[in-house]
Amino acid sequence: MKSTNKFGMFIHWGLYSIPAVHEQILARYDLPSAEYEKYKDQFNPVEYDPEEWVLLAKRAGMEYICITTKHHDGFCMWDTKQTDYNIMNTPYGKDVIRMLADACHKHGMLLSFYYSNPDWHHPKGYNPISTHQWKSVNIGGEVDTEGYREFVKAQVRELLTNYGPIYTFFWDIPSKLYDPSLNELVRELQPGIIINDRGWSEGDFATPERELDKIEGARFSKLTEACNSLGEQSWGYRSGEDFYSIRYLTSAIDRIMAMGGSYLLNVGPDSLGRITSDYSTRLERIGDWYNRMKGALVCHEREELPLRVLHGDCILTRKEGKTYLHFYNGTISSAALVEGAPSLPKSVTLLNTGEALPFAIEKTPDEFSMETGIAVTLLRIHGIPIDELSAEAVVIEIEW
């Protein structure tokens, strides 16, 4: 089956951009609620220009943006009628989700919504059988998930009615209470929407996060969207963040997308509404790599030819009759050795540079059969400028 995978921008933005530590600072640093909630009276992102964000995402080759409409703190970034704890009651006083939706629609960018099930502000938001709940005392200790579900539904109705077509819905933190009526509502309001697996019933796609070590195989068996932040410590804006290397991220994106998954790469805009250069320069560099790879990373199929790559971590895909070798951790030498080539290729291209690579079907002295001791015949692609490419995942295109 052909994948319909995409590269997207994840955006974690909320009051937590003011302390600039972590999106869950309230719980992780055990702040008194009243102290945290004061940020509402300070939030004034006067530099917010959603078109800039959309154009940055576009330049990076991204096809959708998924933004936090409400994180665990319960603060709502849109003009919701269900609580006063929302963006309209800040000094800024404008619906930032509406502004982003308008910019996305203007520039043909798909828009997705993140919505947190835990709500550390709502008096009925405590759900003891789920994770990421905060001390019940801070929200009055009342447990009434049914009452809370009505609130969630009313908010979902607003989000999925008032902001045009929504591409995917990203629930966060599964509630562990089974209630299919929430996803039914989502689908009723936005037929065709794709829902993740962190809601109140099964969704459409899996959401591995920051856990590349646990991923196995060469192809996802179900719809998958992996996510990661540019920063290692936080999803929200963090001053002095520890950033992942470009090499690590291109390797992760290549691997996940070659397996047929989508990839959401997160930025945390600051309290003035800027995607600061710490984040944007890294995104531009990743985008520069991604744009050279994009054709090979989207809408491909599993390679059915019985090819075997002898060295290095490699995933093989196929698209329009061409084979792609995704060396997501780079090749280990300046050559790629492939067993089982059906014929001599017409051409071989290194997508990182766009240049043709020399190749031949031949024997190489160090690859021989243990049984006969005789060198085996291989497709040998060579001349890969591997040391110049050490900061990137490497992709090779073979045209047969």
Per CB under 6 A, residues contacting ligand GLC are: 12, 23-24, 172, 209, 227, 235
Q: Which of residues 11 and 381 has its CB atom nearest to ligand GLC in the complex?
A: 11
Q: Which of residues 227 and 335 has its CB atom nearest to ligand GLC in the complex?
A: 227
User: Rounded to the nearest whole angstrom, what is the least distance from the CB of residue 211 to ligand GLC in the complex?
Assistant: 11
Tracing tokens 């985008």 back to the chain, one arrives at 287
Contacts of 156 (CB under 8 A, 6+ apart): 115, 182, 185, 186, 189
Q: Which of residues 12 and 40 has its CB atom nearest to ligand GLC in the complex?
A: 12
* Residue 79: strand, helix, or coil: coil
Q: Which of residues 33 and 44 has its CB atom nearest to ligand GLC in the complex?
A: 33
User: Rounded to the nearest whole angstrom, what is the least distance from the CB of residue 227 to ligand GLC in the complex?
Assistant: 5
Ranked by CB distance to ligand GLC, the top (closest) residue is 235
CA 53 to chain CA centroid, Å, is 16
User: Rounded to the nearest whole angstrom, what is the least distance from the CB of residue 70 to ligand GLC in the complex?
Assistant: 11
User: Rounded to the nearest whole angstrom, what is the least distance from the CB of residue 172 to ligand GLC in the complex?
Assistant: 5
User: Rounded to the nearest whole angstrom, what is the least distance from the CB of residue 10 to ligand GLC in the complex?
Assistant: 7
Q: Which of residues 43 and 120 has its CB atom nearest to ligand GLC in the complex?
A: 120
Tracing tokens 């698209």 back to the chain, one arrives at 319
User: Rounded to the nearest whole angstrom, what is the least distance from the CB of residue 33 to ligand GLC in the complex?
Assistant: 18
User: Rounded to the nearest whole angstrom, what is the least distance from the CB of residue 39 to ligand GLC in the complex?
Assistant: 17
Q: Which of residues 25 and 307 has its CB atom nearest to ligand GLC in the complex?
A: 25
Instruction: Compute CA distances 242 → 179, 232, 278, 304, 326, whole Å.
Output: 39, 6, 10, 40, 27
Q: Which of residues 17 and 24 has its CB atom nearest to ligand GLC in the complex?
A: 24
- Count of beta carbons in the 10 Å neighbourhood of residue 125: 26
Long-range contacts of 73-76, Cβ-Cβ distance < 8 Å, separation of 24 or more: 73/14, 73/15, 73/16, 73/23, 73/24, 73/26, 73/36, 73/120, 73/121, 74/116, 74/119, 74/120, 74/121, 74/122, 74/125, 75/14, 75/15, 75/40, 75/121, 76/155
